[in-house]
Amino acid sequence: MKTYLPEMTYIEVIEAIDRGAVALLPVGTIEGNAPHMPMGFDYLFAEAVAARVADRTGDVRLPGIAYGVSELLAGFPGTVFVSPDQLQAQVESILRSLVRHGFDHILVIGNHIPNQYPVEIACRRIRSETGIAVASTYPGMLAKSLGKDVFVDPSEMGHGAEPGTSIMMHLTPDAMRMDLVEPNRKVQGVGDFEFASAFGVKHGEGEVNIYLDLHDLTHNGAMADAPGASEERGALIMERIVDFVASFTDRYRELDMSVLQSEAPDHVVGKQ
């Protein structure tokens, strides 16, 4: 049974819709990571999850969207980014096409934090127009939540480090350049401000966003070191992620969209 949309005939697409297949849309990025990691980590990760889930469940996998909201990484050569509006419009158009032809259960498998909001807006617009609640999941966050016993040292977690290094050692070992691994040398702050995260600085007991680029924080794209990275770690966490997403699609395909309210209740403020 074919599960990759470009290889299917339209008759096979009709058959997939009739059997209740969930449409899987990977969304990633092409951006600078650490020197040892391929540019396509987010894209390759999302595509691999979608492919393995489709093979197991018989759901339909679409080609992934490779370009995401990666402007903050534009200082690293090879980064290709689109605006949030462009990503939102592309995701929305793809979802609308799927719904038009009868897919009533769609799962976006999207990596990279800045991609999440444009994807959410696209999914909400489709819900508003069609009543279909599109689902989305973030493999990078799943790796952290499902791998608490695997990635036990928080200092290893971060952009260009774990879980990405182990995952890519498993998925694309030939693309890795482990000879280029070097100790991370994060910049500690800007002016008198100490960095609290990749997105903000410390002030008193709180944090304030200052919209910087990643090269302001790190010379090589890595936000952590990953001395414990291994192919075995990557294989284990990929297995758990695929188990999780596959079990979700089996449950999600049974969701009756008609039980969701298509309009706000009459008592909601602004409802006439």
Q: What percent of the chain has pLDDT over 90?
A: 75
Averaged pLDDT, 237-256: 97
Domain 5-185+220-259: CATH class, spelled out: alpha beta
Which tens digits make up the pLDDT trace of 203-238? 999 999 888 888 888 888 888 888 889 999 999 999
89, with CB counted inside 10 A (0-12, 13-18, 19+), is middle
Confidence of residue 258 (pLDDT cuts 50, 70, 90): confident
Q: What residue segments make up the domains of the chain, in order of their start?
A: 5-185+220-259
120 DSSP 8-state letter: H
Return the residue matching tokens 């800045």: 114
Q: pTM of this prediction?
A: 0.92
Name all contacts of 119-128 with Cβ < 8 Å and 24+ positions apart. Answer: 119/27, 119/87, 119/88, 119/91, 121/88, 121/92, 122/88, 122/89, 122/91, 122/92, 122/95, 123/91, 123/95, 125/92, 126/92, 126/95, 126/96, 126/99
The verdict on whether omega for the bond into residue 26 sits within 30 degrees of 0, i.e. cis, is no
* Cα angle for residues 209, 212, 215 (degrees, 5° grid): 140
